[in-house]
Every structure is written in C-alpha cells, then in structure tokens.
Structure 1
Amino acid sequence: MAGAKDNLFGGTAYQPQGEAYFDDGREIELLHFMYAHPHLNDMRGNPQKVLDAIDEYGKTRKYLMNIGEYKSKTVIDLIREEKPKVIVELGGYVGYSAIAFGAALKNIGGNRYYSLEMNPEFAAVISMLVDLAGLSDIVKVVVGPSSDSLKRLFKEGTLNHIDLLFLDHYKPAYTPDLKTCEELGLVSKGSIYAADNVIKPGNPVYLQYVRSTVQEKRQNYLRIDSSSPRGNPDLIYDSQLIEGWEPSGVPDAIEITRCIGIEA
C-alpha cells in the first residue's frame, strides 16, 4: 500500500475504488469487521477509535466512499469555529461523517445532528456505529429520500433551521435539495453549506448555483419548471473551494458556502 500516492495527502490510502465500490455487501461486512475487532471494547464510547477502525477496513479490506480523515478536518474545523447548534447531512452511508462531525458538534455543545440516508441498510449501519461511538444522544438517523425527509421533518416541527448543511449524497440532488431547504426557510443568513466531492466526481451545476449572484439567480428562477424546487434567489452567498484528498488519495475538494444576507 505504500507509495507516492500515500504521501500526497499525509496518510495510507484506502483500497482502490474499482468499478463496483458500494452496496455489494461491504457495508454489512464492515459491521462484522467492527464487532469482531480485537479492540472493540476500546472503541465503545470513543468516536476517534471507531473512525480509526473504519479507516482500517478501508485501507486493508475494501474501499469505502467516506469523506475520509483528510477532508473531514475541514468540516470539523468549521464546526469548532462557527459552533452550529443543528447540523443536517444529506447522505450518511456508513456513518463516518456522522461520527466525526457528530462528535465535534457534541464537543462544542451543539444540539442535534441529523443524518439523512435513503438506503435502510446503510441507515442501520450508521445507527449501530453511532451507538458504538457513544453518540446516539446527539445523532439522529432519518431514513428516506433526502427531499422527502427534509419536508417531513419541517412539517412535523422537528427541524426549523439548519446551521450547517453537509451535502454528500447523490450529486444531481445537491442543488434541488438545497433549493428545498431555501423554500422551506430552513436556511437563512448565517447558515453554512459544506458540499463534498465537487471535484471528484464533480458537481458543476451546484457550484454554478452557489457561486451565482442574486441577479443571476433571479433571472434563472423564472425559467425553472414549477414542478421542481425553485429555491430562494434572494439569498446572498459567499462561496469558496477548499482543496483536499479522497481517502483513496485522489484529489478532491469541498465547497464551503456561507449565506451572508438577503437582498430585498
């Protein structure tokens, strides 16, 4: 596993991604790996040791489409600096980000971390590993399509504002799901969005949207079919690209977007 690729981002890389890289049984295999681990008792209630074991699986067994230890530092630093109360992630997979960011949120006195995951098997893995890490008191796993879950949580009164939105699910859903949050008023001045994988595999539609001016968004707003989320074009965004690395050693980046105001 050693090589030039490992040294680029300061750690040992995950196994190669390959053509089939998720939903082939490896997620359940990860659970068996974790609960048969010789240091299982040390992991209980220790988020970092759980993350280390997940990384161990990714490095020695099979690739996992996690944000990884390198890029996760960008979001953890953001949590420590901004001190959000409520974080919502779209796409939980096996719980790596929920554990890393949920622990950071708990450490700064935050209230709740919602992990929205469409696949019920993945959601079960998240729940078990979150429990293993001792974070069930702050991390809530929500099963279902992200857009439906956002609307349901809002309608129930469970979720009325998002301080930090982490997008790491189906890439074409980034923009419509953000627009749904805008329409519901879940995001407003002070909200921050962290969008993963904007370089690999890339998300030009999302980048164009969050980097557009209010005037550009207003012009496009009139062209959007009413059957699709139209968002709130009046929200003013300041967006920047933070370069990083995939856990496989491939260059990637996170787009950090701040809502800095509303234009009348």
Structure 2
Amino acid sequence: MSTKPNSPPAESWALDGREVDLLHYIYNRPDIKEIRGNPKKVLSAIDTYNIEFSFLMNIGATKGEFITNIIAERKPSVMIELGGYIGYSAILFGDAIRKNGGKQYLSIEKNPEMAAIADRLVELAGLRDYVRIIVGSSSEVLRELITETKEIEAVELIFIDHWQELYRPDLWLLEELDGLKPDKSVLLADNVIVPGTPDYLEWIQATTPEAKREILSRSNFGSLKPNPDLVYDSHVQEFDTHIGHVGLP
C-alpha cells in the first residue's frame, strides 16, 4: 500500500498540531454522545476532519477494507501494528479483531504525543478492552513482547506502517526472534512502492535461500540475525493508484 506518487514528504502531513486539533474537533462536535462507544462513528469523524480541515496519514477506506477482509479470513487472536499514528488503523482493525473473535490489537507507536492521541480515540471508540497502545521503538517493543514478557509466541498478523527504513531491520528482527512461522504468519506492509522500501521488497520477494544469502553478502545487518531459509509467498496488491504488499512466510 502506498501514498500517491509525487506527494509531498510525510513530514509536511503530520506533527504540526493538526493531530491535537483533531481531538478538539471531535470532542466539540454536537454529536459527541452518539460518537462515544461507536468505532464506526469515531472513524467517520476522523474522515470528516481529514476531508474538511487537514490531511491525516491514515490507512483510508479502500486499503482498510482490504485488511479487515484479511482479518475476517484469518481470524487472528492477536494482531500487531508498527506505527500507530493517531489510532485510526488501531480502531478500524481493533474493531475487526473484536468482531472476529480475537483478543487484542497491539499498536506500537514511538511518538508519545501521537500515542496519547491514539489512546484517547481508542477510549472514545469503546475499544479499551481490545486495543492496547504501546509507547516505544518497534525493535525494543517486539523484543519485549516475544522474548521478555512472551506475550507473543508467533506473529499471526502484523501491519507494518512506520518509517520505511525500519521495515527490513524489523523484519530481520522478527526472523531472528523466530517470531514468524510458515503458514501461520501474515505480513502487511504499507508504502512499499511510494515512498518505497526497495530493500524490504528485495528481501521478501527473494524466492530461494541462495538469493537471500547473496543479499546478505552485500548488506549491513549489524548484530541482527536474518534467516535466509525463511522464504515468503508474497504479492503486490494494487488499489487504483495505491499499491499494497502482502507477505506470507
């Protein structure tokens, strides 16, 4: 999934006060009582702000429906998100997790201000029992969830939507931690074409362990321990001018 070609840089779309303004807009709406406890209406209010006031870097309806359909098909007990922003995807997918018998949606967001906004909107949507916003870097939190608290034995479904330069390192970390299981784990990654994550795509689309070892021979992976024997069944899904990637090890 990707942003539109020739779009301005992400920095011009966020973290300039619009996210706090969104909270004021929603809580000052005359229909706030009807919005409270209703995930669909919270998302609709965010969409209205996005259209009428300031653009927000949310997943959007088309790509959102694609992922909620995967949730309905796979029915994961727990889903993880890397990069939560204001909580739009956490509300949309967390509600889908709830409707399909799942237990929890874990949204990892490094920026504490964005995490606080997401937390308030999740609370407003009435999803506190299903959605947990975790403040911290993706690599630190993934290590904690898998190796320290052992909340996650194997990743069932993960949505990667943070900084593009972290996509491959975090994927390699999941491989190192043995968090990805063949026929059990599904990866969903946004923005892989535009702005683009060529190193992530090269790794996940390599079709043999030999091809992956060749990639490692010319890559700097530091202390990470990627698993070249883990080959993914991957494809790119197009949505008009938007493109999405799905990976299944």
Q: Deviations over 1:16-45 (max 9, x none)?
A: 967721111111111111111122111112
Q: Is the 8 A contact 1:182 1:188 kept in 2?
A: no
State the match for 1:178 in structure 2.
171
Q: Say yes or no: does 1:139 pair with 2:134.
A: no
1:121 to 68, 93, 113: 113
Quick check: 1:243–1:253 contact (8 Å CA) kept in 2? yes
Contact 1:87/1:113 (CA < 8 Å) preserved in 2? yes
Q: SS in structure 2 opposite 1:32? A: helix
> Whole-Å Cα distance in 1 between the matches of residues 116 and 150 of structure 2?
24
Give the letter for the 1:235 counterpart.
L
Residue 65 of structure 1 is matched in structure 2 by 57
Q: Which of 155, 164, 167 is the aligned partner of 1:162?
A: 155
Deviation at 1:84, TM superposition (A): 1.2
**The one of 11, 17, 27 aligned to 2:19:** 27
Aligned-pair CA distance for 1:243:
1.2
Q: 2:228 aligns with which of 217, 225, 233?
A: 233
What's the CA shift for 1:222? 4.5
Measured in 1, the distance between the counterparts of 2:84 and 2:247 equals 20
Q: What is the CA deviation profile of residues 47-83 of structure 1, one whole-angstrom value per residue up to 9, with x for unaligned ones? A: 1111111010100000101111111111001001111
Conservation of the 8 A alpha-carbon contact between 1:86 and 1:161: no
Unaligned ranges ≥5, structure 2: 1-6
Tell me which residue corresponds to 2:3: none
Contact 2:81/2:159 (CA < 8 Å) preserved in 1?
yes
Offset of 1:188 from its aligned partner?
1.1
Q: State the percentage of identical aligned residues.
A: 44
State yes or no: 1:258 paired with 2:217. no
Equivalent residue for 1:4? Answer: none
Shift of 1:242: 1.0
2:25–2:49 Cα contact (<8 Å) kept: yes
Distance 1:172 1:25, change over 3 A: same
Residue 254 of structure 1 deviates from its aligned partner by 1.3
2:28 is aligned, of 23, 33, 36, to 36
Matched position secondary structure for 1:20: helix
Report if the CA contact (8 A) 2:203-2:215 is conserved.
no
- Counterparts of 1:28 and 1:228, CA distance in 2: 38
Distance 1:198 1:224 in 2: 19
Contact 1:146 1:177 in 2 (8 A): yes
Structure 2 counterpart SS, 1:135: coil
Output aligned runs, 1:179-218, within 5 Å.
179-189=172-182, 190-213=184-207, 214-218=209-213
Q: Distance in 1 between matches of 2:62 and 2:221?
A: 40
Corresponding position: 1:86 with 2:78: yes
Q: Taking structure 2 as the reference length, what is the TM-score of the superposition?
A: 0.91
Query: Helix, strand or coil: the match of 1:235?
Result: coil
Tell me how far apart the structure 2 counterparts of residues 207 and 85 of structure 1 sit (CA, whole Å): 27
TM-score by length of 1: 0.86
Distance, in Å, in 1 between the alignment partners of 2:223 and 2:237 is: 29
Q: CA deviation at 1:221?
A: 3.1
**Contact persistence 2:169–2:221 (CA under 8 A):** no
Which amino acid counterpart does residue 13 of structure 2 have in structure 1? Y
In the alignment, structure 1 segments of 5+ residues that lack a partner are 1-15, 246-250, 260-264
Match of 1:243 in 2: 238
**SS of equivalent to 2:23:** helix
The size of the alignment, in residue pairs, is 239
AA aligned opposite 2:102: G
